[in-house]
């Protein structure tokens, strides 16, 4: 279930203070995982601790979310309007540095039956490009229904159409990332992306 919260401070695990932004929309449940559950045989490509960056891939806009270093909570971060390969690369490098990100989780668009869609190839290429420019490993995660759930969550928060449009992609990224960590990943993992010298299409 999604909830809209006013700004307040609460103690997280271990008595640490966790700060929530004003009017933050937070996911308090779990998105269905189905075929994308972690494969136990695949080791984690990342250190045991450190923030993960979740990405809702799009050819025009990219939604971003980030976890805390202990990977307990995923929070919406930003919606980035893609511009050009050099500018996009500089943006993601800065995000990774500023938030001390150690790994990337890219949503993989799938059909309802679990088969990959036409958009899946674009997401995979984008993930490989991210690995190349950041030096971090990329894991792909089932993103079916994430946008639908995100829209429903924002409607429940009684936001205006303009506000919903502004937040939708980053909330979808939050859902993808939260589902990944709640499924027990890592230490388990899914498919990872090797470096790729071919940048993705950033046309509008």
Instruction: Give the Cα separation of 127 and 53 in Å (integer).
Output: 12
β-sheet bridge partners, residue 62? 80
Instruction: Give the Cα separation of 66 and 105 in Å (integer).
Output: 10
Question: Which comes out higher in pLDDT, residue 48 or 122?
Answer: 122
Instruction: Give the Cα separation of 56 and 200 in Å (integer).
Output: 15
Mode of pairing for the β-strands spanning 51-56 and 101-108: parallel
- pLDDT for 161-202, tens place per residue? 555 556 678 888 998 998 888 887 654 333 444 434 444 444
Mean pLDDT calculated for residue range 119-148: 84
Non-local (6+) Cβ contacts of 115 within 8 A are none
Pick among 2.60.40.10, 3.30.70.890, 3.20.20.70, 3.30.420.140: CATH of 46-193: 3.30.420.140
Q: Which two tokens stand for residue 22?
A: 């004003």
Q: What is the pTM of this model?
A: 0.67
The full 3-state SS of 63-75, as one line of letters, equals EEEEECCCCCCEE
pLDDT value for 161:
52
Among 151, 148, 146, 174, residue whose Cα is nearest residue 21:
174
pLDDT value for 187:
45
Q: Which helix (H) or strand (E) holds 12?
A: none
Q: Which helix (H) or strand (E) holds 108?
A: strand 101-108
Mean pLDDT calculated for residue range 119-142: 91
- pLDDT for 1-25, tens place per residue? 333 333 333 344 344 444 444 334 4
Of 30-34, 130-134, 150-154, 159-163, least confident by mean pLDDT is 30-34
pLDDT value for 175:
86
Q: How far is CA 62 from CA 39, 133, 173, in A?
A: 27, 16, 9
- pLDDT for 27-47, tens place per residue? 333 333 333 445 433 445 677
- pLDDT for 56-98, tens place per residue? 999 999 999 999 999 999 999 999 999 999 999 999 999 999 9
């Amino acid at each position: 279930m999604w909830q809209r919260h006013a700004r307040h401070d609460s103690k997280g695990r271990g008595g640490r203070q966790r700060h929530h932004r004003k009017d933050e929309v937070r996911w308090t449940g779990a998105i269905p995982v189905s075929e994308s559950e972690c494969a136990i045989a695949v080791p984690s490509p990342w250190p045991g601790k450190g923030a993960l960056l979740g990405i809702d891939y799009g050819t025009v806009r990219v939604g971003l979310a980030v976890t805390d270093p202990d990977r307990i909570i995923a929070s919406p971060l930003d919606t980035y309007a893609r511009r050009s390969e050099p500018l996009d690369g500089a943006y993601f490098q800065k995000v990774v540095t500023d938030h001390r990100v150690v790994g990337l989780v890219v949503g993989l668009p799938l059909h309802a039956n679990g088969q990959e869609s036409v958009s899946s190839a674009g997401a995979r290429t984008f993930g490989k490009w991210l690995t190349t420019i950041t030096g971090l490993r990329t894991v792909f995660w089932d993103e079916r229904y994430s946008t639908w759930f995100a829209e429903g969550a924002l409607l429940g928060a009684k936001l205006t159409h303009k506000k919903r449009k502004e937040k939708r992609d980053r909330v979808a990224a939050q859902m993808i990332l939260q589902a990944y960590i709640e499924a027990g990943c890592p230490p388990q993992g899914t498919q990872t992306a090797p470096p790729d010298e071919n940048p993705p299409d950033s046309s509008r």
